[in-house]
Structure 1
Amino acid sequence: MAPSLDPTKALHTWSLFRTMGRYVAPGSAPSGALTENTSGGGLDLLELPGELAAHGFASAQLCHFYLPRTEAAYLAEVRAAFAAAGVDLECLLVDDGDVTHPDRGEEQQRWLSGWIEIAEQLGAPRVRVPAGDQAPGEETLALSARRLRELAAQHPDIRVLTENWKSLLVDAATTRRLFDQLEGEVGFLIDTGNWTGADKYEQIAEVAGMAECSQVKARESAPGVLDAEDLVRALSVLRDVGYAGRISFVYAGTDDDEWSRLDEMHEIARGVTG
């Protein structure tokens, strides 16, 4: 019998992008993949941990772009808010940066290093950074591995992770080639929603067993309808390969009531997670 999945109620805070007022802090998205937005109207970051606790969440992966300021005093306030709410900050997610960029790779590495320092000040035990946003090739994979290992070596007091994400890690074989070169110095976060195609679940199964953290996405099969089959199949893959980390859910649908959709995800998942 396959082991049970971790029952901790956990989420990736991208799930609450609308709840947070679609906030994207200035300077947090140099690639332009996200549009900076400080118009307000959403939940304040310092109030987020209390709301997470009120909705039963015990763990969160925090998007870096929700941080409106990064001075030490403010970071201490965020850290204290999570502690007071009893919500574990599992990982800071740095959602930009490309260490494989042909012209700005070194600059991007330094930028990511600054965010890893911020994760350390927040007290997060882990930080996820992108492996690269260039097409895969042996030279690019080697460059990614070298720069990721350098980041990990520069920050020995926090676990640096990367994810099957962006243009570099397009499939299981490429992901395995990178991690062979990382030699355990950088960890793996599996996102079940980043790969598509008929063999998606087989691809996930090939790498999920080496993951330390997860993001399990729920997309929609129709407007306003969660794709329950995809969610259950993704969770079943993680369970069957012996994944032992937390299940951090990601709501990626169209409903503004993100809290209710997250509750629906958990209800659907109960048959798999126990």
Structure 2
Amino acid sequence: MTNAADRIAVSTWSLHRMMGTTYPHNLDTLEVGPVTEAYGPVNESLLDIPSAIANHGINRLEIVSFHIPTRDKVYLGELKSALAAVDVTLQTLLIDAGDISDPLTSDRDTRWIASWIETANELGAERARVIAGKQKPTRDALDLSVKKLTELADGNAGSAVRLTTENWFDLLAEPGHVNFILDKLDGRVGLNGDFGNWGGPTKYADLRAIFGRAETCHAKASFVDGTLDEADYAACIEAAEAAGYKGPYTLIFDANAPHEWDGIAAEKAFIEARIG
């Protein structure tokens, strides 16, 4: 990616209050769940989002799976057309449930995730991000995750959709376990690095330890009384860039203030000023 504009994306999660509704997952079925008015009235539907972000100067989008109201092929075609109409790239379908590291649910959740990878293919997404697991990082849990991620990669063989996972939940709560999983998978699954999932005194060193392998980034900023925490955000970006990260920064806004578009604009301007 050669310029700052090409390195900016946004997630539907950053607009979840504007979108209003979600479709919560039930992993016992492959059907999309019933609509839930989780965040108030609907101001923008998912089909409106590509045009909305394009109007704000962003041309890369990540969609969270629970924002998709149906996996009917006609609807998926409409969503794909809405993206193409404004030249917005679907960077990642974020498959936001499942625990393949739990032996009690691993087989079920792997099947469920595989069905959503098919949806990513239907939509022409560049990537599908899956959760490596939520269990404590015992060797058994790590090995089970590797086994199931390998199965998912095998099932997606030959596809243009790249599978990635993320430094998220207990299983991948430190760099050593992230690198263990990625090493075992030998390049078959990539990494989405997330600024907001780790904390503590080693946060920035830990991010540097994985961002050399990251292909995408969830660039979540903290806001205090509506004001972006510039020191933390700058340190996160510096850690990623110092590690050699060259991919897109997906703006993640999840604060009570300011307004969602204002928060997204603040993150965008801050990042572009540092990577331009």
Among residues 183, 201, 206, which one is paired with 2:204 in the alignment?
201
Match of 1:265 in 2: 267
Instruction: Report which structure shows greater RCO (CA 8 Å, sep ≥6).
Output: 1
Q: Aligned pair in 2 of structure 1 residues 225, 29: CA closer, same or farther (>3 Å)? A: farther
Match of 1:18 in 2: 17
| AA aligned opposite 1:17 | H
- 1:219-249 per-residue CA deviation (whole Å, 9 max, x = no partner) reads 12x2222111111111111111111111111
| AA aligned opposite 1:24 | T
- 1:138-188 per-residue CA deviation (whole Å, 9 max, x = no partner) reads 111111011001101101202111000012101001111111111111111
- Once the two structures are aligned, what percentage of the paired residues are identical? 33
How far did 1:29 drift?
7.1
For the residues of structure 2 that align with 1:93 and 1:50, how far apart are their CA atoms? Answer: 20
Residue 164, structure 1, aligned to residue 167, structure 2: yes
For the residues of structure 2 that align with 1:214 and 1:160, how far apart are their CA atoms? Answer: 14
For the residues of structure 2 that align with 1:140 and 1:186, how far apart are their CA atoms? Answer: 17
1:80-95 equivalences under 5 Å are 80-95=81-96
> Number of paired residues?
266
For the residues of structure 2 that align with 1:128 and 1:258, how far apart are their CA atoms? Answer: 23
Q: Is the 8 A contact 1:7 1:273 kept in 2?
A: no
RMSD: 1.9
| AA aligned opposite 2:103 | P
- 1:105-139 per-residue CA deviation (whole Å, 9 max, x = no partner) reads 10000000000000100010210000001000111
Q: Aligned pair in 2 of structure 1 residues 145, 100: CA closer, same or farther (>3 Å)? A: same
Match of 1:140 in 2: 141
Q: Is the 8 A contact 1:4 1:239 kept in 2?
A: no
Q: Is the 8 A contact 2:132 2:149 kept in 1?
A: yes
Q: Is the 8 A contact 2:27 2:108 kept in 1?
A: no
How far did 1:37 drift?
4.9
Task: Give ranges in structure 2 of 5+ residues lacking alignment.
Answer: none
Match of 1:120 in 2: 121
Task: Give ranges in structure 1 of 5+ residues lacking alignment.
Answer: none
For the residues of structure 2 that align with 1:256 and 1:230, how far apart are their CA atoms? Answer: 18
TM-score (norm 1): 0.92
How far did 1:101 drift?
1.6
How far did 1:26 drift?
4.4
Q: Is the 8 A contact 1:5 1:246 kept in 2?
A: no
Q: Is the 8 A contact 1:98 1:105 kept in 2?
A: yes
Match of 2:238 in 1: 236
